[in-house]
Amino acid sequence: MSANRVLHLFICGAGPATQIRQLVDIAQRDNWDVYCVATSSAIEHFLDTGELASLTGHDVRTTYRKPGDSSTPPPDAVVVAPATYNTLNKWAAGIADNYVLSQLAELTGARVRIVALPFVNQALAANAVFIRSIESLRASGVRVLFGPGEFEPHQPRTGDSALARFPWGLALRAAESSDGAE
C-alpha cells in the first residue's frame, strides 16, 4: 500500500466503535494512512487497540505525546466516528478536557476538513442541546453527517440492530470531497 494522504480518525464510546475496522478498510483501499485517536470510553468499552494498531501500523493515541514517542503527521482530513452525544456537545461548547476534545478544538479552529458521523438514538437526537451543537459545529465548518440520507437516529434500545446500517462509507466520501467542510 502506498498511502500518501493522512487521515486522523477520532473514535468515541458508542457501539459502532466495535466495527471501526470497516472504516479503516475502506480508507486504506482509498490510499489513506490512518491514525486513530480514541476517547477513554471507546477504549474501556468498545475497542481492541492492539488489533487496531496492527491494522493501521500506528499505535492508537489516547493522550499527548511524551518525549520519545513517535510523532503523528498532520491530517489532510479528520473523521470523528462514531461521534457520541457527549463528545459532540462538549466539542460544540468549546470544552477541551480530554485529548480528543483538545485536538478537535485546534483542528476546528485551523479549518482542517472534519467530518463527524454521530451515533445517537432518537431521544438524544431530539434534545435541544444536541440540535444546537450540530448547528454550531456546522457553522464552524464541520461537516456533520446527520439527517435524511446521512445518519438517521434509531429508537432507544435498538442500537445493536442499527449497527449494520451505520454509514461508514459516507464519512469517507465526505472526507474525500472538496466540499467536506461546509
Ligand X SMILES: Cc1cc2nc3c(=O)[nH]c(=O)nc-3n(C[C@H](O)[C@H](O)[C@H](O)COP(=O)(O)O)c2cc1C
The three grid cell numbers given for residue 25, joined into one nine-digit string: 478498510
Provide, rounded to whole angstroms, the least separation between the CB of residue 80 and ligand X: 10
Burial class of 58 by CB neighbour count within 10 A (0 to 12, 13 to 18, 19+)? middle
What's the min distance (Å) between Cβ of 99 and ligand X?
Answer: 10
Minimum distance of ligand X from residue 175's CB (angstroms): 20
Is the four-CA dihedral 29, 170, 38, 4 of positive or negative sign? Answer: positive
Q: Smallest distance from the beta carbon of 46 to ligand X, in angstroms? A: 8
Choose between 15 and 141: whose C-beta lies nearer to ligand X: 15
Q: Give whichever of 28 and 115 is closer to ligand X, judged by the CB atom.
A: 115
DSSP line for 16-34 = GGGGTHHHHHHHHHTTEEE
Closest CA to 9 of 172, 173, 181: 172
Quick one: 97 or 179, whose CB is closer to ligand X? 97
Task: Lay out the sheet containing 32-38: strands in order across.
Answer: 32-38, 5-11, 77-83, 114-118, 143-144
Binding residues (CB under 6 A) for ligand X: these are 12-15, 39, 41-42, 45, 84-87, 119-120, 159
Do 146 and 134 meet the contact criterion of CB atoms below 8 Å apart?
yes
Kindly tell me which of 28 and 39 has the beta carbon lying closer to ligand X.
Answer: 39
Nearer to ligand X, 112 or 120 (CB): 120
Query: Shortest approach of ligand X to residue 124 CB, angstroms?
Result: 6
